[in-house]
Structure formats: C-alpha cells, structure tokens
Amino acid sequence: MIERDSVHFRILERLCKAPKAVRGTAGAILERDYHAPWAVDELSRAGLIRERGWHNGPGAIWVPTSEGMAIYEQLLSAAAAPASIPPRVLPDRPLKTPAD
C-alpha cells in the first residue's frame, strides 16, 4: 500500500504527471532527487513501474505501468474527495459577541 506522503508516491507522481510523450526518468535522476533506490526497487517489484530502454541507444528510463497509473489516479481522487467534517455542536446558551 502506498501512502500519499511517502517517497514511493512522490516517485510515482513524478513518473505519472509527465505528458505521455516525455514520460520517464533515468534512474540516476531519481537517485539524485529522492535518495531512495530501495523505493524504486520496491515499486518495480510491485509492478507499478518498469525500466524501458531507449529506442536508439544504450541506457534506460523508469516509466509507470498501467497498474502504476491506476494506483496514482486512485490516490489523487482520494485526496481530492472532500473530507467528512463532523457537525458542529452549538452550545445551549447564546454565543458571546465582542461587544458583550
């Protein structure tokens, strides 16, 4: 389970927010920005991101999988939903005003 405020979510968010045409980030950049190679490994083993090679050369980038995109969308929609606010209980007596 990915928590909304975890490094896992921040990495997934970075990969999912980019426009599809330029989606993907090199592992070295993720390491530099997040200092969490273990989180990248955990996301990969969970099937939420995968390493994709360049079409015309060596090296690879990390991209989200369709499952990763779905999890990210779920977390975003859950965060956007209004929180339930308990009803406010008013006192039985009249409220004081600054003039009182």
Asked whether the predicted pLDDT for residue 11 surpasses 60, the reply is: yes
For the chain, helix, strand, coil in percent to 5 are: 45, 10, 45
Q: Is 15 within the bounds of a domain? A: yes
Residue 22 lies in a domain: yes
Q: What is the pLDDT of residues 17-66, one digit of tens each?
A: 999 888 899 999 999 999 999 999 999 999 999 999 877 777 789 999 99
Number of domains in the chain: 1
Identify whether 12 is part of a domain. Answer: yes
User: Whole domain around residue 64: which residue ranges?
Assistant: 7-70
Mean pLDDT of 73-94: 64
CATH number for the domain harbouring residue 17:
1.10.10.10
Using DSSP, state whether 52 is helix, strand or coil: strand
Distance CA 50, CA 73 (A): 18
Kindly tell me if the per-residue pLDDT of 1 is higher than 60: yes
Single pTM value for the model: 0.74
Which tens digit of pLDDT belongs to each residue from 21-33? 888 999 999 999 9
